[in-house]
Chain A
């Protein structure tokens, strides 16, 4: 033998887990929602998703290669997720050039300005989405009618979302089956409660995320809107409709649980989730926008470093 032995401190074995495994796990969890978006929004959903993913990955590559002159990290899958999540938060008839701007803001400003994966403060996809919402309010708030594999894109017929209707008291709210399946107007990936919950269960089983954040967000929104509905049912919609409409499920399951921008400990996660739930409800019930999940998550993203610093678990064996 007499080749030199390797000396290193313990542990000497590793689970084999990697950033890639985690990211591709999230992508698999997003597949059901993507299939539903294809069913209801057809060609539009396909174009928007492909353009968003392609531009996110391309911008990450170009910026890292030529601007930052560092090793590119596109193969870790995180840019692909940002692309999918950005697309899921857009209407399926959004023009390509707007999507490209959104991708540039998401990756360029939301992610790489802060130093890339692991260092960004805000969820990149939401940075892109909110930028578009504020810059292109007209295009960002018309929503295609759901069909069955419709071959429409920019030419889709449009209307208002459920939250829009309950906020302004007009139109017919979809029945519960449609709300569950996602046969309603909305951002292309947010509509189907069933598909998003499937993704959630998959991520829980694969131990990609923990349950605290999604469950506490949903619970908070349910309680908050439930109490308001109980006080004044004529003015405030049922909490079930609040849970099943808008971007709440997509946000709670896939956006608020983003590792980098959410707290590390259980206590921190719960405070963060309750905060998102309260802010979402307040914006939905009394804000100028019908939907508030994106803003709520971004605001609580900003609080995350504080939570990581100040909310630590109780010391082992010390019971209060």
Chain B
């Protein structure tokens, strides 16, 4: 079975929330929609206090090349535009909307009917995706239209990331099981947008039912191949997935488009289907809410901007002894400051951990076992990089390619001395990137 060739780990999967129907979270009383939910510059708000909005009303527009449109996820009245603490712990501007009823913009098709036909041109599709505020739903939240533009007419293969290699998360799995037909339409729309004849869908082999389901559905489209992958983290990393599926390696500092591919997350594909075929902007997403002691771990459809706390309540409330709440998976997710933080477009899961699960052990001396170098999927030597950062030897860190790090955390995960390798590398990467920028 295929997988990526360099490094990797296999943490316990803990996929406890799957194998259930995706539920719908009841409407909250208020949503808080941050103006900056994607990589790039914050969007410019188009509404002010007191404005009435519907579900799907544009409330902020893209303010630069890498920036995204933002729509209201509820109907109601704009209460204020104010700062909130986002999942990264930073203050961000956000639109607060008090929910009144549930009225959608008229042009949005809310039926469940599958719309297969798409007569739009490539440019029209990309523009519709941009206007619908779609960003990568896998976590990085990179504006999808920008990625498509970078690869259009240049690449030969579209890769769909259905690996869901993060432990605990099951939202992509549930989506593949419930929305298979829609996903295949979405994939063909993306193929048309990019003007490619091949699409490869990589799914890790711990989701055999999803592989089977999509394979059966994809039989009538020979250009779409469903490929099972050996379970290994970080298979969902773009470079790793491209290597696993095509044997192509994206060199440091280059983009997937440079080796002829564009990668899209499976969640993004569904958002694309809804946007292009149903005129529905990105106002809902599926989120895994999970944790070993949570009463009812599950996957839920959530309106963007819903406070995390409401989602946790829906799944049985915060269990006693919870000391860490993570937005995303346990390998790359962010620990959030409080449960008032809103769900954003890139947030794939909410994971609750107890004190024993969340405490780090004391860091000890490096015994140079080399395990970190061995698991690094990008051929880095984390132990050396940590030392360079510690001694502020930036030129050495640069020479040892610190900027290639994808922050997958495999090194810290595996270190027998519990050294905070990634903490140092992340800090050093920022510093070295800054030095490189200043040089230009």
Residues in B whose Cβ lies below 8 Å from that of A22: 367, 369, 416
User: Do A315 and B335 contact each other (CB < 8 Å), given the known contacts A18-B416, A259-B368?
Assistant: no
Q: Which A245-264 residues have C-beta < 8 A from chain B?
A: 259-260, 262-264
Q: Which of A19, A264, A312, A316 contacts B252 (CB 8 A)?
A: A316
Q: Which A88-111 residues have C-beta < 8 A from chain B?
A: none
Question: Which residue in chain A gives the minimum CB-CB distance to B399?
Answer: A312
B348: CB under 8 A from chain A? no
A172: CB under 8 A from chain B? no
Q: Interface of chain A, helix or strand or loop or mixed?
A: loop
Please tell me if the beta carbons of A1 and B322 are within 8 angstroms of each other in the complex: yes
- Report A213 CB to chain B, min CB distance, Å: 11
**Contact flags (1/0) for A1-27 with B, using CB distance below 8 Å?**
101011111111111011101100000
Q: Interface of chain B, helix or strand or loop or mixed?
A: loop
Please tell me if the beta carbons of B367 and A315 are within 8 angstroms of each other in the complex: no
State the B residues within 8 Å of A (CB): 6, 9, 11, 89, 167, 239, 249-252, 254, 318, 320, 322-326, 328, 330-338, 351, 353, 355, 357-361, 364-371, 373-374, 377-381, 383-384, 399-401, 404, 407, 409-410, 412-418, 422-423, 426
A189: CB under 8 A from chain B? no
The interface-forming segment of A43-51, A116-124, A161-169, A279-287 is A116-124
State the A residues within 8 Å of B (CB): 1, 3, 5-15, 17-19, 21-22, 116-119, 210, 259-260, 262-265, 308, 312-319
Please tell me if the beta carbons of A318 and B337 are within 8 angstroms of each other in the complex: no
Please tell me if the beta carbons of A308 and B416 are within 8 angstroms of each other in the complex: no
Residues in B whose Cβ lies below 8 Å from that of A315: 251-252, 379, 401, 404
Please tell me if the beta carbons of A317 and B401 are within 8 angstroms of each other in the complex: no
Please tell me if the beta carbons of B335 and A6 are within 8 angstroms of each other in the complex: yes
Please list the 3 inter-chain residue pairs (A to B) with the smallest Cβ-Cβ separation, ordered nearest first. Answer: A11-B409, A317-B251, A317-B249
Q: Which of B330, B351, B379 contacts A313 (CB 8 A)?
A: B379
CA of A21 to CA of B418, assembled, Å = 13
Given contacts A11-B409, A12-B330, 19 further A-B contacts (CB under 8 A): A1-B322, A9-B422, A10-B331, A10-B335, A11-B410, A11-B422, A13-B11, A13-B413, A14-B413, A15-B11, A19-B364, A22-B369, A119-B365, A259-B369, A263-B370, A265-B373, A312-B381, A315-B401, A316-B404
Residues in B whose Cβ lies below 8 Å from that of A17: 371, 414-416
